Structure formats: C-alpha cells, structure tokens
Chains A and B, each alone.
Chain A
Amino acid sequence: MQIICISRGTFSGGKKLAEALAEKLGFDCLAREELTDMATASGIPVGKLEMTVVRRRPMTEAMIIERERYKAFVTSVLCERARSRGLVYHGRTGHLVLPGVTHVLRLRAILDPEQRVLSAMDRLRLSREKAQSYINDVDEDRHRWVRTLYNADWKDPTSYDLVVNLSHMSVENAATALVSMAQLPEFQATPATKQKIDDLLLASRCRLALGSDPRSRDMDVKVRSDGGIVSVTYLPRHEGKAELIPEVLATVPDVNEVLCTMASTNVLWIQGKFDPQSESLEQIVDIATRWNAAVELMEIKDEEEPASPAPESLTPEQKSDAGFPYSSENGGILDDEAFDYETELDEGLRKTRQRLISAGRAGGYRVLKGCPKDVLSSIDRTVDYNLVVVGDLCPSKGSSVSKRRTQEMVSYLLDNMHVPVIEASEMKSQFMFGPAQFMKLLGFAAMVVIMVFGVMSHQKDVLEFISKGTCLFSACEEVGMSNRILSALAIALFVPVFAFCYGGFTRFIFRILRFD
C-alpha cells in the first residue's frame, strides 16, 4: 500500500510521468480529472467550487461546506485505493490531502517554461503570447485552488520530497529513477501510517455521511477519527441539529464512539506527555470555555527513542503489503509503531482527554513522533485555530533539552502557522488573572490616573504648550519652530504611552470579567 503523489502544472509532463511510474511499479494510476468526475457524479458541485476559486470569490458558507465534502471525498477515494494496492495519483494537491501519512512519496513535476509554451502552442493551436498567458492563468488558478482548499503554497519546494525537472530527462528515465526512490524505506507503509490512513478514511466517510444526509447537509462540521473514536466539532448555530450527528454516523461502519463538541474555534495543545493534574490543563479548560473552543490534543513522542525491532505480530502478508521487505537496514522506519487506541494510550493522555470531555471541550487527539516539520504537516491548515499551546517536549531528556525543544517548536510554528503560538508556561500571564496580573493592573491604573489628572488639572498650561502662538518656558510672544517641534514630539510620545497603559488596564478588566 504505497502512495506516490505527483503534483503537476499544466503542460509540465506530470501526467506522463505518473502513468509511466505506475506502469513500472504495477500500481494503479489515478488522475485528478477522474477523481473530479467521480465527485461530481456523487453530487458534489466541483465545477461551482472551481469557479468560486478561479473567479476569486470569497467562500460562502454553502461553498465552505461543499469544499469540506470535496476534500473528504478525495481523501476517502485515495485512502480506499491505497489500502487495496499501491497508488500513483497525479493532480494538484495529492500531497496535502493525507496529512500525517508520512510514507507518501510526494513529487512535483516541472518543465522548462519554453517547452511548456511550445507544448501549449502545439496542442491548443495558440499564438505564443496566448499560450504563455494560458499557462500563467492556469498556474495561478491552481495556486489559488491549493491555497483555498489547504491553505498551503503549491510552489513551495519544501512540501515535496523531490522536484523532478523533465526538461533534460525523458519521462521514461525519470520514471526509472523514481522506481528506485520509491523502494526506500522512508516511503513504505508502517503499522502507524496504516492506522493513520484508516483514521483518515473513517473521518472522511463520516464527513461524507453527514454531507449526504439531507438533515445534516448544511452543517459546517470538522471530523477527526482516532482509532474508531470519531470527534465532531460543530458551530454553535447548528446546536439544534447536534443530536442528529450520532444518529447519522451510526450508519458508518467501524465507528466505535462519537464525541460531539460545539465550538466556535479551536485550541491546539501540543505536549510531550500530558499530565491530568497539571495546572496547564485547568488553564486550557478555562480558556476554551471562555472562547467556546474545542481543545485538540497532540502528544509528541520523543523521536530519538531507541529503535524497536520489527513487530513480531505482523504476518508475512502484512509485511509484503508494505511493499518493502522488513530488515535491519530499513532506515529505522519500523520505529513508527501503530497504537492500539484502547490499550496503548498512556494514562496521562487518556485522563486529560476525559477531563476535556467532562468539560465539554474535547476536540480529538493524536499521537505523533517527529520534528516540528512533521507536526506542522500533520495539522489541518484549514482548521480555525485561535491558539496553539506548546507544553514541555521530550520531558525524559531533562529540563534543558525539554526547554530548548519546546522553544524550537514554538518558533517554528509561529513562523509557519500565522496564529498565536505560546508556551504552556505563558498561559497564565497571557490569558489568566493572578497576583502578578493584579499588580500590573494596579500599575496601569495608577499611570492612567496620573496622566489624566495631570492633563485635566493643568488644562490651560497643557493647551498653551501644545498650541501654536505660545512659548514653552517663558512669557515671550514669539513662537519658535523648536517649541512647535517639541510639543509635537511630546504628543507623539505621550499618546501611545497613555494608549498602552489604558489598553493594558482595560484588557485586564475584561479578563477578570471573562470577556474575551
């Protein structure tokens, strides 16, 4: 069950490369166009969705729901095909629809712009200018499509394992080279990635079931699955229909449990090891309650843990299913074991999850192993996160290493996610109200009172100082430019300082009133 995704621009040779590679590997080859036809046949208005994106119309609520249905459809088809045998998919976003499935070989096919123009001129019988314009327009549309659907940059080379330039290499030779690459252990399925594919498949089936049922069709929901436990978050305006969710999902096979949470937004909590007794948990519950947010847990296992031997429990069929013989020289890929969600969840994570469920704030969980980039690639970038909290990572390695890793993670996510990312230890100062905040509140209040009193009790002096036609230090009649500059600078300094102090004061007051 190997998956190879080739991202291609128009007239870039990606389709031919995908077909050649699939033939050499004996895999199925699936084109985006086939997938689109299937989605349209199943009732998803893909054409309308494309027009919305191409015409750069902001997404309506109805279109957002169709977008989610389309994404779920693509995910379900890819996962189903990948479960049965190897798959080569070529389109725009194959590498993005399977977040967290680390064994996907993600390729991008490119071609010299001149060759692309010549191909377009030849095939579409266009003039050079029109062919150039056509290619630019299609590339721009695809860039926009990827941005709209997955909030990612299509052209970012770091999204791919390899960028294949077909300008100086035949498609056949490129495919031959890629066959060797596809044999590398990094691109073989592991029990963990298989579990991930099962989770994505179940989540997408549930999303499609909710989208197909006329009663729940117009609900804007996010669905996640973790080992048969399906977490659904829905917006407050769909509160009246919430009870339909478990009813609809009861018809979906493999669903063991449904957890519904009403949430306007999401908080992502990343931690090395969750502790249900920690102060952070209560702080997060408090913040999530104030914001009406669902809390998604992400436990990061230490990536440098000793490698485990190949799982004994795997049958030879399972091993061959992975498409690569297990061996001791397999690049450590077998470190990545699947979790038995019922028995192997560590107690801390299970209890933390239970606490969130009892608070009505649970938004699903996942267990990962890897570096910040792996964490980022496993996050659904279209989910509306209001805050990302990073707790101690690698706690077993001591406080110094843990602190460094945590700070690295915060910096990396901050640069890439465009949402507030803070360390768990900062929650208290940023969102809670304690003695330190009370002292700050008093400080701000004192500053505000002094400034207001100072100005209002010396109105005439202040106005003389700031108005033209008066002098600063003496009763002179002439107005000097230096005085004007001085008064202008004084205003320019005084005003932001007052805004900062009074802004801080009101922020703390509203925090006390739980009004954020």
Chain B
Amino acid sequence: MHEFLLGSYFIELDWMTVGQVILLGFIGGTLSGFIGSGGAFFMTPGMMNLGVPGPVAVASNITHKFGKAMIGSREHGKMGHVDKKLAVFMLVTAALGINLAVWVMKLMFSDAGGHGHHSRGAGADLYISLVFSGVLILVSVSMLRDIIKSRKTQDSTPSRKIIDFLNKLNLHPMISFPVADVKVSLWVILICGLATGYLAGTIGVGGFIGVPAMIYVFGISSQVAAGTELFLAMFMGAYGALNFALQGMVDLRLTLMLYLGSLVGIHLGVYGTKVVREVIIRLVTSLIILLCVISRMIAIPVYMRKLGYIAYPSDLDVYFNMGSKALLYISGIGGMLMILFFVFKAYFQRRKVSASLVSSRQGAS
C-alpha cells in the first residue's frame, strides 16, 4: 500500500508510480486522440488502481483536461469546427452540473470516514464507480448495437432515432446554430449541458457524454462536435479545476505526469484517425470502454465491503483489485496497441504509396 502525504489525500510518488502515471497518460492520450474525446475513462480508474483516492484522481484529471482542451480547441478553431454559440448555451448548465457534482463528491468524501484509514473515501469511490459503470456501459452498448446494425444495412453512420424523435416533438424555443448547421430545442440543450457537467465533475468523463449527445441528440457532425466539446471542456475544465483546487484536491504532480504521457499519445491518436476507417474507430472505442467498465465493476465489491454493505474475507480484496487492474490494463493497452498498429502501419506504408503513385501515373499517361 502506498504511503500518504499530508493526511490521506496525496500518495507518495516513487519512480515506479511515476512511470505508471505517465503510461496511463500516454494510453489515455492515445485513446483520446483516436476516439476524439475522453481518455479520462481510463486515466481516472487507472490512478485509483494506483492508490490515488477517487476525488483526487478526478480532480487531477480534470485539471489535466483543462490545459489539454485549451490547446485542442485552438487547433479545432482554426479549422472552423467550434460552434461557440452552442458552447455558450451548454456552458451555463454544465457549470451548474459540475458544481453539483463537486458538492456531492465532497459530501461523500467527508462522510466516508469511520472505517479506518484504508476505507476512507470508499463511499466516494463506490459512488464514482457506480456512475462510471452505469453511464459508460450505456454508451458502449449503444455504440456496439449501432455497429452491428450497420453491418446489416451497410450504413456505418450513427443512429438518428433520437434526433428524429426530438424533431417530431418540436419543443420550442428552437435555437439555430449556424456553424453546426442545426436547430435544437433550448430544453434539450439545457438537459444535455447539465448531464455533461455533472458527469464531468463526477467521473471526469464529460467528453464521452458531450460528444455523443451532440452527434446523437443534436445531430451535428463529429468534427464540429469534437471541436465544440473541447471548447466547452476548456471552460468546464477550468471551472472544475478551480473548484477542486479550492477544495485542495488537485495533485499537481499527477497532472504533470499525465501530461508527459498524454500529449505524446494524442499526436499518435489523431494521426490514427486520419488513416483508419470510421467504423473501426467506433468498434475499437466501444470495446475499450466496455472492458474498462467491467474492470471498474470488479472493484465495486471491495468498496462495498469497506462500507459494510457486504461481507467477505478481506483477503479476497487483493484478488478483486488485481482482477480490476488487470482488465483495465488489458483494455487500455490492448486498445492502444491496436491504434498504434494502424498508426505505424500507415506511417511505414508511405514509401510504398509513393512507388504505387509513379506506376499508376505511368499507366495513365
């Protein structure tokens, strides 16, 4: 077990832990660059598996996301992929959502004592794990269903059922967003914004809700969704980071280590999106999320035992933790290896590409 600095908030970092956090950042960054959002679904539980208390893991991750989103949204802005009007509409409710999440988390973290040093924060951990599992299992199963369905219809694009349903309802007032080229009901925007903010504040996985919401509920293109989400994430991240920082929960060391890995991974992941077909991107994404969720679910009995909800010999905790950790690493490392395979395959094929160009041109002329 790790030593804690300054009470029970911050773990002591040795070289091995530093290496593991950088690796988590790299894997999260690669997934984030490839999938277009998140990465937190891997990094948050990954840090928790290293012994970092849940709220500190979320706080460090959301702070890391803030700087990353700032750089990313600037790049997307150059491409015209940021709908600032939509972002402003979502921002207000998302801020409320984050505030609510931070308040709930603080409540759980402070009430979780009473079961000894090691169980402190188990309530918060259980809460985060349950929300994490519930939400992401919904996202991954929906994505997989969409892909399986698309194999039958030869249509590899996202389902439009929700958008068609909401269009029929025609809930006024409808707001027009020129950059995203959509009209969306104000109420739908507010609900999605609140949910995005709450989840970002709770599990640090706002993008995984925000981007699919924009694609599946608002009906905007995936590029504009990713760009707008990053713009939104910049403010949400700043707000979340400030809130967590005011509570003293941000571990700056972890944030820096995450950056060291993630910014390298993001470059590789983004390169991957240029060379891999969309259906494969979505398949890889949903499988990774599903494995990650199962990994978190395996750890839930440990938190429940610590809180006294269930009883079993505490010796078994180590196996649950080990199983959870193993599956998390399998999902993350497996996903990362798949992505890197596509990336390097495309990278080393460039010489071959040039050769084939010459021969086809000779054939043409």
Q: Is B16 an interface residue (CB 8 A)?
A: no
Q: Is B129 an interface residue (CB 8 A)?
A: no
- In-complex Cβ contact of B353 among A245, A292, A510 (8 A): A292
Contact of B7 with A503 in the complex, beta carbons under 8 Å: no
Q: A55-B164, A262-B360, A488-B245 are in contact. Are A60 and B353 (CB under 8 A)?
A: no
Task: Count residues of chain A with CB under 8 A from any CB of chain B.
Answer: 63
Contact of A491 with B363 in the complex, beta carbons under 8 Å: no
Contacting residues, chain A, for B252 (C-beta < 8 A): 455, 462-463, 466, 491, 494-495
Contacting residues, chain B, for A464 (C-beta < 8 A): 6
Q: Is A309 an interface residue (CB 8 A)?
A: no
Q: Is A473 an interface residue (CB 8 A)?
A: no
In this complex, which of A58, A417, A468 has the most chain B Cβ atoms within 10 angstroms of its Cβ? A58
Task: Count residues of chain B with CB under 8 A from any CB of chain A.
Answer: 64
- Of B133-141, B150-158, B328-336, the one contacting chain A is B150-158
Q: State how many angstroms separate the Cβ of B68 from the closest Cβ of chain A.
A: 6
- In-complex Cβ contact of A506 among B249, B255, B264 (8 A): B264
- In-complex Cβ contact of B245 among A419, A492, A499 (8 A): A492
Contacting residues, chain B, for A264 (C-beta < 8 A): 274-275
Q: Is B260 an interface residue (CB 8 A)?
A: yes
Q: Is A360 an interface residue (CB 8 A)?
A: yes
Q: State how many angstroms separate the Cβ of B209 from the closest Cβ of chain A.
A: 20
Q: Is B78 an interface residue (CB 8 A)?
A: yes
Contact of A60 with B238 in the complex, beta carbons under 8 Å: no
CA A62 to CA B155, docked complex, whole Å: 9
CA A466 to CA B18, docked complex, whole Å: 19
Complex: chain B residue closest to A292, CB-CB: B353
Contact of A260 with B63 in the complex, beta carbons under 8 Å: no
Chain B 144-183: CB-based contact to A (< 8 A → 1; otherwise 0): 0000000000111110100110000000000000000100
Contact of A419 with B80 in the complex, beta carbons under 8 Å: yes
Contacting residues, chain B, for A468 (C-beta < 8 A): 246-248
CA A275 to CA B241, docked complex, whole Å: 52
Contact of A496 with B67 in the complex, beta carbons under 8 Å: yes
Q: Is B294 an interface residue (CB 8 A)?
A: no
Q: State how many angstroms separate the Cβ of B71 from the closest Cβ of chain A.
A: 5
Q: A420-B79, A467-B248, A495-B241 are in contact. Are A261 and B357 (CB under 8 A)?
A: yes
Contact of A492 with B360 in the complex, beta carbons under 8 Å: no
Chain B 299-325: CB-based contact to A (< 8 A → 1; otherwise 0): 000000000000000000000000000
Contacting residues, chain B, for A452 (C-beta < 8 A): 256, 260
Q: Is A498 an interface residue (CB 8 A)?
A: yes
Complex: chain A residue closest to B343, CB-CB: A515
Q: Is B221 an interface residue (CB 8 A)?
A: yes
Contact of A499 with B353 in the complex, beta carbons under 8 Å: no
Contacting residues, chain B, for A485 (C-beta < 8 A): 246
Q: Is B66 an interface residue (CB 8 A)?
A: yes
Contact of A259 with B154 in the complex, beta carbons under 8 Å: no
Q: Is B100 an interface residue (CB 8 A)?
A: no
Q: State how many angstroms separate the Cβ of A224 from the closest Cβ of chain B.
A: 14
CA A1 to CA B70, docked complex, whole Å: 54
Q: Is A46 an interface residue (CB 8 A)?
A: no
Q: A459-B13, A495-B63, A506-B263 are in contact. Are A466 and B250 (CB under 8 A)?
A: yes
- In-complex Cβ contact of B360 among A242, A459, A466 (8 A): A242
Interface residues of B in 51-95 (CB under 8 A from A): 63-64, 66-68, 70-71, 78-81
Complex: chain A residue closest to B66, CB-CB: A495
Contact of A292 with B350 in the complex, beta carbons under 8 Å: yes
Q: Is A56 an interface residue (CB 8 A)?
A: yes
Contact of B79 with A451 in the complex, beta carbons under 8 Å: no
Complex: chain A residue closest to B12, CB-CB: A459
Q: State how many angstroms separate the Cβ of A57 from the closest Cβ of chain B.
A: 6
Known: A62-B154, A463-B252, A510-B267. 10 other contacts (CB 8 A): A60-B154, A245-B364, A246-B363, A261-B357, A289-B350, A456-B13, A491-B63, A499-B259, A506-B267, A516-B267
Give A residues with C-beta under 8 Å from B: 55-62, 147, 236, 239, 242-243, 245-246, 257-262, 264, 289, 292, 357, 360, 417-420, 451-452, 455-456, 459-460, 462-464, 466-470, 484-485, 487-488, 491-492, 494-496, 498-500, 502-503, 506-507, 510, 515-516
22 contacts between A and B (CB under 8 A): A58-B157, A260-B364, A262-B357, A292-B350, A292-B353, A357-B361, A360-B357, A417-B80, A418-B81, A420-B78, A456-B253, A459-B253, A466-B250, A466-B251, A468-B247, A484-B245, A498-B256, A500-B67, A503-B71, A503-B263, A515-B267, A515-B271
